[in-house]
């Protein structure tokens, strides 16, 4: 059963905002951003990136359902991700990405 958009927003407000906006809300004043912050410039996170932000398998399933419902991934890809999650676990997608991962400079 697909997750409703409003429920997803309540469970994942920041992720929902990030998925729906095309322009970053980060405003840099006073010239160019530091070089380290440009690493991810223009990068469009995929379903794996969002799954890696999840803390529980249930959250990952909700992300998969939401992305499938929006047409971001095919039903076949969604089934493949669900199988991997079920058989290999949440961390099989990679270590957890903390909040602000894309804003950290190296």
Residues in the chain: 106
- The tens place of each residue's pLDDT in the chain, 106 residues long, gives 466 777 777 877 877 777 776 555 544 444 444 555 555 565 667 899 889 999 999 999 999 999 999 999 999 999 999 999 999 999 999 888 776 555 554 4
In terms of Cα–Cα distance, which of 23, 21, 27 is closest to 9? 21
> In the chain, what are the domain boundaries?
5-103
CA distance 56 to 79: 18
pTM (two decimals): 0.56
CA distance 38 to 30: 16
């Amino acid at each position: 059963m697909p997750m409703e958009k409003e429920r997803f927003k309540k469970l994942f407000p920041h992720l929902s905002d990030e998925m729906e906006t095309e322009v970053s809300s980060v405003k840099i004043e006073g010239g160019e951003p530091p070089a380290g912050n440009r690493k991810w410039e223009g990068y469009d996170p995929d379903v794996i990136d969002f799954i890696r932000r999840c803390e529980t398998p249930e959250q990952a399933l909700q992300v998969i359902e939401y992305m499938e419902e929006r047409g971001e991934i095919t039903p076949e890809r969604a089934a493949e991700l669900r199988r991997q999650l079920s058989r290999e676990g949440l961390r099989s997608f990679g270590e957890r990405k903390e909040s602000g991962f894309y804003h950290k400079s190296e």
